[in-house]
């Protein structure tokens, strides 16, 4: 039956049966499996199935199949701007006076309560395995984007020592403006290729400069990130002081770093000046620079570079974070 071409007499017959009206009223409220619907109307499944066959032929039910179960609901889109819709709306208002409909609603609540209990038991059973069966994502971007909506609008963030932009890529869409700084022109070119192919509503700037003399004005950033970069510097503490200078009051800074290690090949192979940094030294640099709320976050993650002989190193990581106080007790060095 194509609703738009159906004679009015057929539409009247479709809705003339009180049981079909009760079924439609329930399926307008909730998507129900055939078994759940049978319980809600308090009838034998054979009788319910017969009415469902007629409603299916009228093409006003939407179906969803989950395993061996079929879930049904009233598809209001199929009724839009048709005489059947006007008939249904008129008759639906009369259902409140039917004792059977009131009983249907009581049974429906029982059915839904049973569903909630059943689903709750399911999640209790699989909780220990949930990460394996439902926690796998292709890139993790969906979760990151969901979290990003909790951040305030209009943020300006700085990726310091951005390299090829692998850290900055995670910030796209989280801020209005991203400032990428690196001393290497070639690195900035690689970062630009990576970050500008998918802008994601973030304006990205690329600035060549040293981390101990950042090409960013005082108080220009809401947040500053230095990911795996301080161990490349002769004096990491100076870069931390510069991070403080470019932050507005209340702005936050985060440093991702390596714990001390013995992979001496990384000096020549990766350009490292220090074989990791003591977390206590980075914490002290944050406090000397004037940061408040300074904290150390150990990470359940490891850096795994490939050694010259082809084996893989496994090095522990940590994050040091802090916030520039809103009421400053230490004045930063201003730069023109």
What pLDDT is stored for residue 13 in this prediction? Answer: 81
Mean pLDDT over 233-244 rounds to 96
Angle at 188 between CA 180 and CA 184, to 5 degrees: 105
Backbone dihedral angles phi then psi of residue 255, each to the nearest 5 degrees: -120, 125
Instruction: Look at residues 128, 83, 104 and name the one whose alpha carbon lies nearest to residue 20.
Output: 104
Instruction: Look at residues 115, 94, 90, 99 and name the one whose alpha carbon lies nearest to residue 39.
Output: 115
pLDDT tier for residue 231 given thresholds of 50, 70 and 90: very high
- Rounded distance, CA 117 to CA 115, Å? 5
What pLDDT is stored for residue 4 in this prediction? Answer: 52
Alpha-carbon Rg for the chain, nearest whole angstrom, is 32
Query: 275-318, pLDDT tens digit by residue?
Result: 999 999 999 999 999 999 999 998 889 999 999 999 999 999 99
Q: Where in the chain is the domain with CATH 3.40.50.150?
A: 143-323
pLDDT surpasses 70 at 3: no
Q: From 1.10.10.10, 3.90.280.10, 3.40.50.300, 1.10.3720.10, which CATH number describes the 3-125 domain?
A: 1.10.10.10
Mean pLDDT over 42-47 rounds to 91
Q: Where in the chain is the domain with CATH 1.10.10.10?
A: 3-125
Q: From 3.40.50.12280, 1.20.120.530, 3.90.1200.10, 3.40.50.150, which CATH number describes the 143-323 domain?
A: 3.40.50.150
- Rounded distance, CA 22 to CA 282, Å? 69
Give the Cβ contact number of residue 190 at 10 Å.
16
- Rounded distance, CA 305 to CA 303, Å? 6
Check: CB of residue 48 under 8 Å from CB of residue 34.
yes
How far is CA 210 from each of CA 169, 181, 185, 190, 221, rounded to the nearest angstrom? 21, 8, 12, 18, 17
Most confident option among 71-75, 216-220, 298-302, 330-334? 216-220
pLDDT tier for residue 200 given thresholds of 50, 70 and 90: low
pLDDT tier for residue 336 given thresholds of 50, 70 and 90: very low
pLDDT surpasses 80 at 123: no
- Rounded distance, CA 260 to CA 316, Å? 9
Query: 63-118, pLDDT tens digit by residue?
Result: 998 888 889 998 877 666 677 777 778 787 777 777 888 899 999 999 998 888 77
Least confident stretch, 53-67, 87-101, 134-148: 134-148
DSSP summary character for residue 160: E
Check: CB of residue 258 under 8 Å from CB of residue 317.
yes
pLDDT surpasses 70 at 220: yes
pLDDT surpasses 70 at 325: yes
- Mean pLDDT over all residues of the chain? 87
Query: 251-275, pLDDT tens digit by residue?
Result: 999 999 999 999 999 999 999 999 9
Most confident option among 21-30, 170-179, 232-241, 296-305? 232-241
| Percent residues over pLDDT 70 in the chain | 88
What pLDDT is stored for residue 56 in this prediction? Answer: 87
Backbone dihedral angles phi then psi of residue 50, each to the nearest 5 degrees: -65, -45
- Rounded distance, CA 143 to CA 8, Å? 50
What pLDDT is stored for residue 100 in this prediction? Answer: 87
Give the Cβ contact number of residue 139 at 10 Å.
7
pLDDT surpasses 80 at 7: no
Burial class (CB in 10 A: 0-12, 13-18, 19+), 291: buried
Backbone dihedral angles phi then psi of residue 288, each to the nearest 5 degrees: -60, -35
Looking at the DSSP bridge assignments, the partners of residue 160 are: 181, 226
**DSSP β-ladder status, 221-227 and 247-258:** parallel
- Rounded distance, CA 314 to CA 327, Å? 41
How far is CA 251 from each of CA 148, 167, 243, 326, rounded to the nearest angstrom? 17, 19, 10, 8
Residue that has been written with the tokens 């161990």 in this structure: 231
């Amino acid at each position: 039956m194509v609703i738009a071409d159906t004679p009015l007499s057929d539409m009247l017959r479709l809705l003339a049966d009180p049981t079909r009206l009760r079924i439609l009223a329930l399926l307008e409220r909730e998507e129900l499996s055939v078994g759940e619907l049978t319980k809600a109307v308090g009838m034998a499944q054979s009788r319910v199935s017969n009415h469902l066959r007629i409603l299916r032929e009228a093409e006003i039910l939407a179906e969803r199949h989950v395993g061996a179960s079929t879930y049904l609901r009233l598809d209001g889109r199929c009724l839009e701007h048709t005489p059947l819709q006007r008939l249904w709306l008129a008759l639906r208002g009369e259902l409140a006076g039917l004792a059977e409909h009131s009983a249907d609603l009581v049974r429906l609540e029982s059915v839904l309560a049973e569903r909630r209990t059943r689903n709750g038991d399911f999640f209790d059973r699989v909780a220990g395995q949930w990460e394996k069966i439902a926690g796998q994502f292709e890139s993790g971007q969906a979760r990151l984007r969901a979290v990003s909506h909790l951040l305030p609008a209009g943020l300006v963030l700085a990726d310091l020592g951005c390299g090829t932009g692998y850290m900055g890529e995670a910030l796209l869409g989280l801020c209005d403006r991203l400032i990428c700084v690196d001393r290497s022109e070639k690195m900035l070119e690689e970062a630009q290729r990576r970050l500008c192919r998918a802008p994601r509503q973030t304006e990205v700037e690329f600035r060549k400069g040293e981390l101990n003399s950042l090409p960013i004005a005082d108080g220009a950033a809401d947040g500053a990130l230095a990911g795996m970069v301080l161990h490349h510097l002769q004096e990491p503490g100076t870069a931390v002081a510069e991070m403080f200078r470019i932050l507005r009051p209340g702005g936050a800074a985060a440093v991702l770093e390596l714990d001390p290690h013995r992979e001496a090949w990384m000096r020549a192979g990766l350009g490292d000046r220090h074989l990791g940094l003591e977390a206590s030294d980075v914490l002290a640099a944050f406090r000397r620079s004037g940061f408040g709320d300074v904290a150390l976050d150990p990470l359940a993650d490891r850096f795994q570079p490939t050694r010259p002989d082809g084996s893989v190193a496994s090095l522990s990581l940590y994050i040091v974070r802090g916030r520039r106080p809103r009421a400053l007790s230490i004045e930063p060095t201003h730069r023109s």
